[in-house]
Structure 1
Amino acid sequence: MKTTCILILFWPLYMSLLTDESQTSKTEVKCNFTEKNYSLIPADINKDVTILDLSYNQITLNIRDISVLQRYLLLTELYLIENNVVILHKNSFGNLFNLKILNICRNSIRVIQQGAFIGLNKLKELYLCQNKILQLNPDIFVPLKILKLLNLQGNLISYFDAPPLLHLELIILYGNPWNCSCGLLNLQNWLNTSNVILENENITMCSYPDILKSYSIKTVPYNAECYSKFPSPITEDLYINFQSISNSTFNSSLNNLTRNSEHEPLGKSWAFLVGVVVTVLITSLIIFFAIKCPIWYNFLLSYNHHHLEEHEADAYEDDFTGYASSISQISDINSEETTVIFEQLHSFVEDDDGFIEDKYIDSHELHEEN
Structure 2
Amino acid sequence: MKIICVTILFWPFFMLLLSEKSQTSKTEVKVNFTEKNYSLIPEDISNNITILDLSYNQITLNIADTRVLQMYFLLTELYLNENKILILHDNSFSNLSSLEILNICRNPISVIQQDAFIGLNKLKQLYICQNKIIHLNPDMFVPLNNLKLLNLQGNFISYFDVPQLFHLEIITLYGNPWNCTCRLFNLQNWLNTSNVILEKENITMCNYPDSLKCYNIKTVPFAPECHSTLISSVTEDFYVNFRSISNSTFDSSLNNVTRNSEHEPLGKSWAFLVGVVVTVLMTSLLIFLAIKCPIWYNFLLSYNHHRLEEHEAETYEDSFTGNTSSSSQIPDINSEDTTVIFEQLHSFVVDDDGFIEDKYIDTHELCEEK
Q: What do the CA deviations read for 1:147-198 (whole angstroms, capped 9, x no partner)?
A: 1111000000001011111211111100000000001111111111111111
Amino acid of the structure 2 residue aligned with 1:75 = L
Alignment of 1:1-370 (within 5 A): 11-27=10-26, 28-231=28-231, 240-247=237-244, 255-256=252-253, 266-267=263-264
Amino acid of the structure 2 residue aligned with 1:99 = L
Describe the shift of the 1:38–1:241 C-alpha distance in structure 2 as closer, same or farther (beyond 3 A). Answer: farther
Amino acid of the structure 1 residue aligned with 2:159 = Y
The CA deviation at 1:24 is 1.7
Q: Which residue of 2 aligns with 1:319?
A: none
Would you say how many aligned residue pairs link Structure 1 and Structure 2?
266
Describe the shift of the 1:262–1:19 C-alpha distance in structure 2 as closer, same or farther (beyond 3 A). Answer: same
Amino acid of the structure 2 residue aligned with 1:244 = N
The CA deviation at 1:259 is 5.2
Moved more, 137-146 or 262-271: 262-271
Question: d(CA) in 2 for partners of 1:103 and 1:241?
Answer: 35
The CA deviation at 1:268 is 5.9
Describe the shift of the 1:261–1:48 C-alpha distance in structure 2 as closer, same or farther (beyond 3 A). Answer: same
The CA deviation at 1:237 is 7.4
Question: d(CA) in 1 for partners of 2:56 and 2:37?
Answer: 7
Q: What do the CA deviations read for 1:196-255 (whole angstroms, capped 9, x no partner)?
A: 1111111100001111111000001112210001139xxx87764542343567875665
Q: Which residue of 2 aligns with 1:287?
A: none
The CA deviation at 1:270 is 11
Describe the shift of the 1:250–1:130 C-alpha distance in structure 2 as closer, same or farther (beyond 3 A). Answer: farther
With structure 2 as the length reference, what TM-score do the two structures score? 0.65
Question: d(CA) in 2 for partners of 1:9 and 1:186?
Answer: 58
Question: d(CA) in 2 for partners of 1:156 and 1:182?
Answer: 19
Question: d(CA) in 2 for partners of 1:139 and 1:176?
Answer: 20
The CA deviation at 1:14 is 2.1
Describe the shift of the 1:115–1:268 C-alpha distance in structure 2 as closer, same or farther (beyond 3 A). Answer: closer
Matched residue of 1:31: which SS?
strand
Moved more, 240-249 or 258-267: 258-267
Amino acid of the structure 1 residue aligned with 2:104 = I
The CA deviation at 1:83 is 0.6
The CA deviation at 1:97 is 0.8
Q: What do the CA deviations read for 1:35-79 (whole angstroms, capped 9, x no partner)?
A: 111111111111111000011111111111111100101100000
Question: d(CA) in 2 for partners of 1:97 and 1:227?
Answer: 41
Percent identity (aligned):
59
Matched residue of 1:230: which SS?
helix
Q: What do the CA deviations read for 1:6-55 (whole angstroms, capped 9, x no partner)?
A: 97655322222211111122233111111111111111111111000011
Moved more, 250-259 or 200-209: 250-259
Moved more, 108-117 or 94-103: 108-117
Q: What do the CA deviations read for 1:69-110 (whole angstroms, capped 9, x no partner)?
A: 001011000000111111111111001011010000000111
Question: d(CA) in 1 for partners of 2:266 and 2:249?
Answer: 25
Describe the shift of the 1:271–1:107 C-alpha distance in structure 2 as closer, same or farther (beyond 3 A). Answer: same
Describe the shift of the 1:66–1:262 C-alpha distance in structure 2 as closer, same or farther (beyond 3 A). Answer: farther
Question: d(CA) in 1 for partners of 2:59 and 2:112?
Answer: 17
Matched residue of 2:126: which SS?
strand
Moved more, 245-254 or 80-89: 245-254
Q: What do the CA deviations read for 1:296-315 (whole angstroms, capped 9, x no partner)?
A: xxxxxxxxxxxxxxxxxxxx
Question: d(CA) in 2 for partners of 1:190 and 1:155?
Answer: 21
Matched residue of 2:185: which SS?
helix
Question: d(CA) in 2 for partners of 1:33 and 1:258?
Answer: 54
Question: d(CA) in 2 for partners of 1:269 and 1:72?
Answer: 58
Question: d(CA) in 2 for partners of 1:115 and 1:246?
Answer: 24
Question: d(CA) in 2 for partners of 1:120 and 1:110?
Answer: 21
Question: d(CA) in 1 for partners of 2:268 and 2:146?
Answer: 62
Question: d(CA) in 2 for partners of 1:7 and 1:183?
Answer: 67
Matched residue of 2:231: which SS?
coil
Moved more, 6-15 or 103-112: 6-15
Question: d(CA) in 2 for partners of 1:265 and 1:210?
Answer: 50
Matched residue of 1:219: which SS?
coil
